[in-house]
Amino acid sequence: MERVKRLAAQLLPGSVGTKPKVALLGAAGGIGQPLALLLKGSPLIGELALYDVANTAGVAADISHISTAVRVKGYTGPQQLGDALQGAAMVVIPAGVPRKPGMTRDDLFNINAGIVATLAEGVARHCPDAWVLVISNPVNSTVPIAAEVFKRAGTYNPAKLFGVTALDVVRAETFIAEILGVDPRDVTVPVVGGHAGVTILPLLSQCKPPLQLEASKAQQLMARIQDAGTEVVQAKAGAGSATLSMAFAAARFADACLRAMAGEGGVVECAFVASALTSLPFFASPVRLGRGGAEAALPIGAMNDLEQRNYDAMLAELAGSIQKGVEFAQRRA
Ligand code: NAD
Ligand code: LMR
């Protein structure tokens, strides 16, 4: 039996025994720590590699004492990035600086673009087949940056690169459930577009159970979902942005990816992916996940007048953010 397991581990890259290795980059940060905690509880993960530029040893020691089967190792600094990534089947990236009040996500570009590009170069070198889940903002630009890095390295697989927009869905479910007086787990609502301000487009008309709101109330709810990140940034008053709800959302998205990777059928989650649904090269929509990554970006369906107006209004901003990421990565080459 042991021999069979060892053989399976050799045949399935990124697997430890039969379960995959997941690398978390930015693991000692505000998102990284609670996300590491949630991933340590996953029955689908064999090994968790916790990487950061500082403070990883303490986080890894702490998390490693939790009595689940996931093996945990800590890695600190660029010299150890290769070891952290080696053999990973999934890489989750919350590395980078968060917003302070008054900032837009795009104000983070100058610092986070370089961080994501460097980490993507590490992925291309050490685990080119891994699924890559980008959390670092501005997601509308950092995902195109990672794509360009992978293209240059000759390792780009559009099916395996995801901008994590799950927090927008989690928020939409929560706020809608408050209105409907139901359990948020019983709410399904697609959130499409991107992950910044007006590019976050919840399709309230497609909500299940149905949500009957007059146009002004629907516009208010849409604005609350679009501005929810800013609501947290203001409430934290300089101490950062959403971390705990983000960890919950990322753990849920990672779990969906791991289930699909393990062969579960019918897994659908919203994410910002390479897409032919619109004129833009990347777009967030419900995505059907399979063993090889994103199998299909699912059609966004019919929009009502309010949604169509918001959709039309977002396209130029989203196109600009994508292009900014592409140009940054091409200048770096
Ligand atoms: P944080 O400052 O608390 O943690 C970031 C961590 O990244 C730190 O531990 C830092 O040491 C580490 N880091 C910095 N440079 C690194 C590098 N080169 N390699 C590895 N690690 C590095 O910030 P946070 O609150 O965890 O937020 C992280 C990022 O996630 C921010 O850009 C934030 O805007 C973004 N975010 C995205 C979403 C989303 O929905 N996609 C939600 C919330 C936050
Ligand atoms: C969020 O939506 O909470 C994140 O993108 C962080 C932020 O800066 O708002």
52 has pLDDT over 90: yes
Give the 3-state secondary structure of 27-54.
CCCCCHHHHHHHHHCCCCCCEEEEEECC
Token duo for residue 186: 């019983």
pLDDT confidence band for 178 (50 / 70 / 90) = very high
Q: Which ligand is nearest to the CA of 171?
A: 2
Burial class (CB in 10 A: 0-12, 13-18, 19+), 161: buried
**Given this model, what pLDDT does residue 126 score?**
98
Helical residues (DSSP H) of the chain, grouped into ranges: 2-11, 32-40, 56-64, 81-85, 109-126, 139-153, 166-180, 215-226, 228-236, 244-261, 305-332
**Given this model, what pLDDT does residue 8 score?**
47
Token duo for residue 252: 């849920």
**Given this model, what pLDDT does residue 18 score?**
85
184 has pLDDT over 50: yes
For residue 31 and ligand 2, the question of a CB distance below 6 A is answered with: no
Across the strands, what pairs with 288? 268, 296
Q: What is the mean pLDDT of residues 169-177?
A: 98
10 has pLDDT over 90: no
Q: 32: annotated binding-site residue?
A: yes
Residues flanking ligand 1, CB < 6 Å = 25-26, 28-32, 52-54, 94-99, 108, 112, 115, 118-119, 135-137, 139, 164, 167, 195, 240-243, 246
Q: How far apart are CA 120 and CA 189, in angstroms?
A: 31
Q: What is the mean pLDDT of residues 230-253?
A: 98
Across the strands, what pairs with 51? 25, 75
**Given this model, what pLDDT does residue 43 score?**
98
Helix (H) / strand (E) containing 274: strand 267-274
31 C-alpha to ligand 2 centroid (Å): 11
11 has pLDDT over 60: no
The per-residue pLDDT for range 109-168, each reduced to its tens digit, is 999 999 999 999 999 999 999 999 999 999 999 999 999 999 999 999 999 999 999 999
DSSP string, 285-317: EEEEEETTEEEEEPP-----HHHHHHHHHHHHH
12 has pLDDT over 80: no
pTM equals 0.96
Q: What is the mean pLDDT of residues 89-107?
A: 98
Query: Which residues, including other chains, have CB under 8 Å from residue 1's CB and lie 6 or more apart?
Result: none
The length of the chain in residues reads 333
**Given this model, what pLDDT does residue 17 score?**
56
Q: What is the mean pLDDT of residues 193-204?
A: 98
Residue nearest to atom 8 of ligand 2 (CA): 99
Ordered by where they begin, the domains of the chain are 17-164 (3.40.50.720), 166-320 (3.90.110.10)
Residue nearest to atom 7 of ligand 2 (CA): 229
317 has pLDDT over 90: yes
Distances 324 to 34, 42, 305 between C-alpha atoms, Å: 31, 36, 30
6 has pLDDT over 60: no
332 has pLDDT over 60: yes
Q: What is the mean pLDDT of residues 169-198?
A: 98
